[in-house]
Structure 1
Amino acid sequence: MVATITGSRPPVAADEVADALFNNLELQPGDFSIHLNHPKDFLIVCASQAIKDRIYGDHHIEGPSFSLSLCPWSKLAHAGYDSLGHRVELELRGVPA
């Protein structure tokens, strides 16, 4: 999951985000870890699928002086494309028709 600070975007530490999740979702230490993430603010790594499902149910979390928007992490979220100046011939083998 990724968490983004919404609204006026005050500076928020990962510990404050963890406390907001503990208080709002009744989670325990060890249920998840929080890491700084770019371009989103925080990456939340869950210890189990059940914890992920619990966090996924709430898309908006209120902290003491900030609000969080939660959404699933996707490796394609900020993907881009570019054209390359070379053409390459590619042969695929062993791929079922």
Structure 2
Amino acid sequence: MMQETKDECTLGFDIDGHMQYSIGNIISLMQISTFKKDFLVDPFTLHDEIRSELKLKIEDPGTLLIVHGGANDILWLKGEFKIFPLCV
């Protein structure tokens, strides 16, 4: 996915989480889309890659991030992965 999105300047983004058995939110699924392809990301198995490679892409000021339900998604990214997207 990172190879296929490296030259993309626009990403669609959505996070699904679970709160029933936790104090905070547990991110259970990330959905990332380009104009050509959709990706489903398992945050449990790819935690390190999300905190490194995906973090660089999301925090890049040249990446327009279109977020569904953005208020919660941005908070969850910051809390669980220490990813701080540029919010306009």
**TM-score range for the pair, normalised by the shorter chain length:** under 0.3
Could you say which structure has the larger radius of gyration? 1
- The TM-score normalised by the length of structure 2 is 0.24
* Higher RCO (CA < 8 A, seq sep 6+): 1
Structure ranking higher in strand proportion: 2
